[in-house]
Every structure is written in C-alpha cells, then in structure tokens.
Amino acid sequence: MGTGGDEAARGLAQEIVGVVRVTAFGTSIVAPAGSVISVLIVMMSYAGFASPLVVLISFAGSMCCAVSFAEFGRRLPSAGWTYTYSSRGLGRTMGFLTGWMMVFGYAMVVPGGVALTSAYASLLATHLSVTVWPGVLFLVILAGVILVTYLGVRPSSTTGLILVVGEMAVIAALAITILIKIGPASYSAAAFSPGSAPGRGTSGIATAMIYGITAFAGFEAAAALSEEARNTRRSIPVSIIGIVVITGAFYLLVVVAETFGVGRNGIGDLVGQPSPLGYLASRYWSPSAIWVLDLVVVLTGLGFVVAAANAAIRVLFAMGRDRALPGSLARLSGRQTPVAAIGCLTVITLVLGLPLTYVVGAATASGYLFACAGLAVVLVHLAGNVAVIRAFRTEFRDEFKRGRHLLIPAAGVVILLFPLWGILHPDTYSLINLLPFIGLAWLCLGILAAGVLRARRPAVFAKLGTTSMPGGS
C-alpha cells in the first residue's frame, strides 16, 4: 500500500468522471428527496405559509455561494475544495479552520444520513410485515457505503445518477398531481409574503432559513471531484451552478404544492405527520402508494450517504496530504481511493451514529446530528464567499470582475447572516436549537489546534491549502 507520502504523490485517479456524473454526485449530496421529507419539513414548521418565500431566499443565497465556489473551482481545482479556497483567499489559519469545520460537518451528516436511511428502511420493511431494528439496518447500510466508496467515485457517481433522477421524478410527479387537483383557486401570492409566517415576525423566517440553506448544502461538494473530473475547470463550475438551479426549481415546486395542498391552516398537521409525503400521497394518489415514497426515500438516503462519504474522505485526504491532519489519511488503496480516510470516517460514523440510534431512535438521531451540523454549514459557506472577494482582490487581481468577485459573494454573505443569526439567537432554547452550539465548541478547539500547528510545525503550516491541479497555483 505504500506510505502516506508516496500515495499522496501518486494522487487520486484523474479524468474518470464527466460533467453529468459530477452533477449527479453533487445532487446526491444535496439529496433533494431527503431534504423535502426532513429539513424542509422543519423549515415549514417555522415559516408556515411563507415557506415558498424562504425557499426563494435560500435559493438566492445558495446561488450566490455557488457562483463563488464555481469561480474557485475554475481557478483552484482541489480535492480539498473549500479548505483550499479559504487557505488561498483568507490565509492559512482560516483555511485550516474551514477544513476543520468541514470535517465536523461531515462527521455529523454522514451518520445522520445513515440513521435517517435506516429509519425509512425499517418503515419500508413494515409494508412487507417484517420488523427490523434500525440499528441493524444502520450497520448494513454503512457496510454497503464503505464498499462503494472503496471501489471508487465512478461507480458511486453512476449509482447516484440513477437514484437522483428517479427520486426527483417520483416526488415531482406527486407535486404536480397536487397542484392539478387543487386547481388555481387554491393558489395564493401570500405564500411569498413575510407576513404569512407564524407570528408575523422576521425571526421565524430567519430560523426557517437555517433549514432552507441546509437543504441546498452539498452543492459545493461537486468540487471534491476536481482532481478526478474530465475538463475539470469547466465541468466543476458548470456542475456547481447546475446543481443549485435543479434543486432550487425542485424545492420550489414541492414546497408550493405542499403549502397550497394543505392550506394555511393545515401546515401544522402536515409537519406533525410521521411521513408528510406519505400523508400527501395517500390523500392525492392512493393509500397504497405510501410504500413507493418510502422506497424513494431509502434510495435517496443511500445515494446521499455514498456521495457525502466520498466528499468527506476527500477532505480528510486533502488535509492529510498537507499534514494539516495526520499524514496517514492521505494513504490510497490500489484503486487510488483514500482507504485510510475511509476507515477514519467509518469509525466516526459508528461512534456517533449507532449509540445515538439505540438511545433515541434512528429518526430522532438523524435530526440531532443534522442540527449539530447547522453552524458548520453556514460558516463554511460564509468563508467561501469572503475568500472569493479577498483572493480576487489580491492573488488573482488580474482576473477581478466587480460582479462575480465582489457583488455576488457579498450578497451571499448578507443572506447567510440570516441563518447565522437564527442559530445564535433562537426563539426558544430547546435542545434542537442548542445543538448547533456544539459546532462553536469544535471551532474553539480548531483555533487551539491551528495555534499549536503553527507554533510546532511552521513549515507545514505555511504550505496549507497550496496543493491543487497543475495550473491552479
């Protein structure tokens, strides 16, 4: 297998996936079907009848971020993506902290995704009159994910392409059915007014945006394949922006259908359902169709976890390659996949996900883990936008364009301040609202770790985030 240094020098396999597979990979991490049955339902509980407005605002903010990440993807192709971008744009300390928060975020969302998938797989089994504890399914799903990530990104992205097209087609068909059956008389422009949010205040909108932004999170992970994509300086930017456009249109269609389908007074009942989409399918299709949606969610979860795991191990690989984390994480298998990073992620997922699934149940465990990731997601996106402004005003000054490198990322920063405010100042200090503060504690540890690395290994610290494909430095 060789040493970590030898493997890092050999690098990941190159030019093995095209723009379609890269787009499918990123869309699988966004997990549109998974989002509409999880984080967007939580968003609706805060935004109420104004949920379509929150989707539009979240889309605008995500698009600004997408443009920023696309600019870096064109200029600095790297498996470490945002870690590399922040290192070059904001300096080595901020780059390290961005990577540090990315590791935390993926350490939450991967086990959260496995837990959520196991919950719906258990629910699907009940349609066959079979009872399976989600903890067993957690182990089975994780084993399958580890196998696929070990085989490489090409089979992973192919699987993601098939699953993501299927999942979005089924749920879009349900949304269109709802809109046709209720008719234009049930449509209302009030759904795009802040005054339609519960309490008629902006705090509900701000809190809802935490989940709205989270629903788009993952589009930037397409850049994790920068070192493995064909024509990477074109395919990565096109994929990043395309993912946000596709998922934004899908979310708006589904949330509008849900909002109009149950009406202003029915949203509370909808979000309280064990399976909100199953409830709508039973109401507008047939009760016998519920199992189809459960199957779609399971397949979505599988696609999401495979893609998220692939992205996570590439962050670990890139930081290990730079010695920001232990160099052994850069070790590759004979298939040129980050085998040590895969093992590390497996341990993290088992330690965090399985005990929590046993104690509180798979569905609740996934909710807790996703909530923990909220602050990390917002901070990483903020760092990416600010890094674009500074990098193209300094290192890449000759390419600076006011719109793409100042106004758009600045707009992204402003929009992201809303979910940040919602995290730091929640309406009520319930457990789910306090969990994101774990990310703040992790950030403080990261500051200490960065200080230690800078003091003890200054030569390594000075080179953080400098590795990208030829022509990108």
Mean pLDDT of 48-72: 89
Is pLDDT at 1 greater than 50 in this prediction?
A: no
Mean pLDDT of the chain: 87
402, part of any domain: yes
441, part of any domain: no
Domains: count for the chain: 1
Residue 276 pLDDT: 85
Mean pLDDT of 99-127: 90
Q: What is the pTM of this model?
A: 0.83
Residue 429 pLDDT: 80
User: Can you read off the two tokens belonging to residue 23?
Assistant: 């787009």
How does pLDDT run across 218-238, given as a tens digit for each residue? 888 888 898 889 998 899 999
How does pLDDT run across 244-272, given as a tens digit for each residue? 999 999 999 999 999 999 988 888 888 88
Residue 190: Cβ-neighbour burial (10 angstroms; 0-12, 13-18, 19+): middle
449, part of any domain: no
E strands of 249-357, at which residues? Answer: none
Residue for token pair 């994480």: 329
Q: Is 78 left (phi over 0), alpha (psi -120 to 50) or beta?
A: beta
468, part of any domain: no
Residue for token pair 């930017």: 237
Residue 471's pLDDT band, with cuts at 50, 70 and 90, is: very low
Residue 459 pLDDT: 92
Reported as type and span, the H/E element at residue 78 is none
Residue 9 pLDDT: 47
How does pLDDT run across 118-142, given as a tens digit for each residue? 988 998 888 778 888 888 999 999 9
Residue 440 pLDDT: 92
What is the domain range of residue 362?
A: 4-422
Is pLDDT at 401 greater than 60 in this prediction?
A: yes
Is pLDDT at 455 greater than 90 in this prediction?
A: yes
136, part of any domain: yes
How does pLDDT run across 71-81, given as a tens digit for each residue? 888 888 888 88
Mean pLDDT of 34-56: 88
Is pLDDT at 8 greater than 50 in this prediction?
A: no
Is pLDDT at 395 greater than 60 in this prediction?
A: yes
41, part of any domain: yes
Q: CATH number, domain at 268?
A: 1.20.1740.10
**Residues of the chain above pLDDT 70, percent:** 96
Residue 439 pLDDT: 92
Residue 331's pLDDT band, with cuts at 50, 70 and 90, is: very high
Residue 272 pLDDT: 85
430, part of any domain: no
Residue 473's pLDDT band, with cuts at 50, 70 and 90, is: very low
- Gap between the Cα atoms of 307 and 312, Å rounded: 9
Range name among 20-29, 139-148, 150-159, 406-415 with the lowest pLDDT average = 150-159
Residue 468's pLDDT band, with cuts at 50, 70 and 90, is: low
Residue 336 pLDDT: 86
Q: Looking at per-residue confidence, does 467 or 56 come out higher?
A: 56
- Gap between the Cα atoms of 381 and 62, Å rounded: 9
Segment of 188-202, 248-262, 289-303, 395-409 carrying the highest mean pLDDT:
248-262
467, part of any domain: no
With contact defined as beta carbons under 8 Å apart, do 290 and 282 qualify? yes
Q: DSSP labels for 176-202?
A: HHHHHHH-GGG--GGGGSGGGSGGGSH
